[in-house]
Chain A
């Protein structure tokens, strides 16, 4: 009998402890009023650079909203938006964004900021792309020399840009031995490229943030096609009634506000020596990079 009591007691105490833990978790989930939640789907680069860690707490403090940041590729972010599963998007995949808007999924697409894509690779530069000015020429040389190229392959904004350049170069890289797709985020794909000493198209922000561990150099930059432009889009509440339209608008307004644009302008200078993004609110896409 004593054994029974002791065993029961042991189990009971473990259970109670765990139930208590569970209850407090449930409470924590309830504290946030429901209409206060905003689901913001964005690209990995905004999270991996640390920009959102600065902006989101500020927004939450200013407005009292609670932002659920879901960092996925731009492609997935827009899919979430087109299913009404996100309230606001911060993305960088121009062609896909235009289609998203044309399909009537979003309202109020606004320019937030830009930086640029760069082609990086091993310092030895076996394909000698360093002499090229045009991104498409660089890609051509990589394919001719059959040097390893590491691609995101995940329909992200970066991946979309990469495909655009391959198309401009008139090359079909998929299925080639020297072309490898990771299906991972920017940071992880950069790490793969560094390990294999391959060429890769990356956004400058993530590259600068990770530079210390990579051992890869910028080999081609400055081509107009390499502009990396971020827009904020509110998901259309007329199409998806459950969308938190007021919250989405507040967040989008916040992103183009003077205060945030000022933060973007200086973000990263201290840590990386140069800014990671250039604020562009109110400008036109055609005027960027001039």
Chain B
């Protein structure tokens, strides 16, 4: 148990002293996972809304696939992204394996189905008649979709948090496609794994505490947006 207190103490001292390496790792984690979440929002909310509001043959299968994708194992994503990005693989000429960009791609693939699935559920939960009502009031299709998205705000913010939470805490894909390269692709989770395997449990705990602190801070901001009272 002592080691946990030791770790928390070390986390605080690393934060207060603004340890450049830890700051770099933390900043990279936030940048990479933030960007990946952003990409997943565009794709996930876009496609999720489209699937929710339309009907087409095979729709159930598509919904089933999206829902399965919500549980996509990061290591599986990591493995496939690695193979695709290999120098001698299909996208080898881009030379982005073992770069932060590769981690962003892998994390975006992990987060997109999560955002999509929650968006889909949120949009389908809105009363069907709302759509007709909005259109009857003379709104264009785009305005209608925009109003529906706003109506589902509570759930969509949950989608943002779930997507971000999924990728900031993910390690399997990051270590495979990023390589855990010091000062370049080392993020909080991969650094934690490495310090654990080095036997530096105190440092590993310190990094975990920092990860949790930042995840909490970001979710608090998002929660504030989500829970804000609607102006009358």
Contact = CB atoms under 8 A, between A and B. Distances in A.
A255 to B, nearest CB: 18
A240 B87 CA distance: 10
Contact of B181 (A25, A68, A210): A68
Given A7-B153, A22-B38, A83-B88, A209 B100 contact: no
User: Interface extent on A, as a size class?
Assistant: 35 or more
A22 B37 contact: no
Contacts of B39: 22
B199 A213 contact: yes
Interface string A1-41: 01110110010001101110110111011000010010100
Contacts of B197: 44, 48, 184-188
B141 interface: no
Interface string A77-102: 00000011100000000000000000
Interface in B169-184: 179-182, 184
A19 B38 contact: yes
A242 B100 contact: no
Nearest to B27: A21
Nearest to B201: A213
B86 interface: yes
Contact of B225 (A10, A25, A70, A83): A10
A71 interface: yes
B92 A242 contact: yes
B34 interface: yes
B195 to A, nearest CB: 9
Nearest to A184: B197
Interface in A183-216: 184-188, 190-191, 209-210, 212-214
Interface string B129-140: 000000000000
Describe B's contact surface by its main secondary structure: helix
Contact of B35 (A7, A25, A188, A191): A25
A10 B197 CA distance: 42
Given A22-B34, A71-B180, A188-B196, A84 B230 contact: no
B180 A22 contact: no
Contacts of B99: 29
A68 B97 CA distance: 10
A39 B185 CA distance: 13
Contacts of A28: 100
Nearest to A3: B231
Contacts of B30: 21
A22 B179 contact: no
Contact of A25 (B86, B104, B196): B104
A39 B86 CA distance: 12
Contacts of A22: 31, 34-35, 38-39, 104
Contact of A84 (B87, B184, B198): B87
Nearest to B150: A7
Contacts of A213: 199, 201
Given A15-B41, A37-B95, 7 more contacts: A3-B230, A17-B34, A21-B31, A34-B95, A50-B198, A186-B197, A187-B199
Interface of A: 2-4, 6-7, 10, 14-15, 17-19, 21-22, 24-26, 28-29, 34, 37, 39, 44, 47-48, 50, 53, 56, 66, 68-71, 83-85, 184-188, 190-191, 209-210, 212-214, 240, 242
11 contacts: A3-B230, A7-B153, A18-B38, A25-B104, A29-B100, A37-B95, A39-B98, A83-B86, A85-B88, A85-B97, A210-B199
Top 9 A-B residue pairs of the complex, sorted by shortest distance between their CB atoms: A22-B35, A210-B199, A187-B197, A18-B38, A21-B31, A70-B179, A68-B98, A188-B197, A18-B34
